[in-house]
Every structure is written in C-alpha cells, then in structure tokens.
Amino acid sequence: GEDVEQSLFLSVREGDSSVINCTYTDSSSTYLYWYKQEPGAGLQLLTYIFSNMDMKQDQRLTVLLNKKDKHLSLRIADTQTGDSAIYFCAETLYSGAGSYQLTFGKGTKLSVIP
C-alpha cells in the first residue's frame, strides 16, 4: 500500500515523555522526516533521519528507526505545553519523473496537559 500510518491523537502530561509512532511503506526511502504544525502555521521540519541510521538524538528529540519493520518513532522528552501541535511523519518517494515527493501520514495531534 501507499499509506504512511500514524495514530491520530496523543495526550500527555507536562514533563512526561511523548512517543509518536509511524509505519511507512517504502523500504528504499532515503530520508524519513518528522514535521510539526502548530495552529495557524505551516509545516516546520522538526527532525529527520537517514535510512542507514538506527537512532538520532537532537536535544529533547529522539528518533528511532526500525527498517526491518518500517517503523519510525519520535520521542519528546520533558514534554512542554509549547509542544502541543500536529506531528507528521513523512517518507521520501521517488516518483520516477525526476521528482522526490514526500508522502505524509495523517498527523498525530499531541495535546499536553499542564
């Protein structure tokens, strides 16, 4: 199939860790991304991981990649109210027409409870 799957909602308490999971479709995807969309704003690239990596850490963000299972996760440590947003998982697909497209999941709405 062509769907990138992720759960639609996640609610966590401020200070806890958040884990957003995603399964993607194409084992040949070179880059996998996490985008963040705050209310009224555009898509902000949060972090990415290259397909030959298992893990990437960037301050409070940890990305884990399991290529065998085509599973990607984003962990946000010490979640803050400012982290409330929609998080999109995306994979890169080559269209065959000289173009690399992003294929997105439906987005996970993260709500942080103070």
Partner 1 sequence: EAGVTQFPSHSVIEKGQTVTLRCDPISGHDNLYWYRRVMGKEIKFLLHFVKESKQDESGMPNNRFLAERTGGTYSTLKVQPAELEDSGVYFCASSHGRGSYGYTFGSGTRLTVV
The β-bridge partners of 19 are: 75
Longest dimension (CA), the chain: 47
Contact string (CB under 8 A) for partner 1, positions 39-68, x = contact: -xxxxxx--x--------------------
Which of 10, 18, 105, 108 touches partner 1 (CB under 8 A)?
A: 105
Measure the CA–CA gap between 65 and 72, rounded to whole angstroms. 5
Q: Does 114 help bind partner 1 (rule: CB under 8 A)?
A: no
Measure the CA–CA gap between 91 and 30, rounded to whole angstroms. 8
Contact of 50 with 66, CB cutoff 8 Å: no
- Comparison of 11 and 44: residue with beta carbon closer to partner 1: 44
Residue 59 tokens, joined: 């301050």
Q: Which of 109, 105, 113, 112 is nearest to 6 (CA)?
A: 105
Q: Does 95 help bind partner 1 (rule: CB under 8 A)?
A: yes
Part in contact with partner 1 (CB under 8 A); list of ranges 16-24, 38-46, 56-64, 70-78: 38-46
Q: Does 99 help bind partner 1 (rule: CB under 8 A)?
A: yes
Interface contacts to partner 1, rule CB under 8 A = 3-4, 30-31, 33, 35, 40-45, 48, 88, 90, 92, 95, 97-107
